[in-house]
Amino acid sequence: MQLQSGVIRTQLRLTAVTLDNVCLLSQT
């Protein structure tokens, strides 16, 4: 079950990175 929590953590990290990229593009 640790694998599932690892996948969720990875998805959250990818989502955070994506949101950061969107914010940077919006500021441009």
Read off the pLDDT of residues 1-28 as tens digits, 9 standing for 90 and up: 688 999 999 999 999 999 999 999 998 7
Cβ atoms within 10 Å of 8's Cβ, excluding its own: 10
Predicted local confidence at residue 17, as pLDDT: 97
CA distance 28 to 11: 26
Q: What is the DSSP letter of 7?
A: H
Predicted local confidence at residue 19, as pLDDT: 96
Q: How many domains, the chain?
A: 1
CA distance 12 to 6: 10
Residue ranges making up the domain that contains 14: 1-28
Predicted local confidence at residue 11, as pLDDT: 97
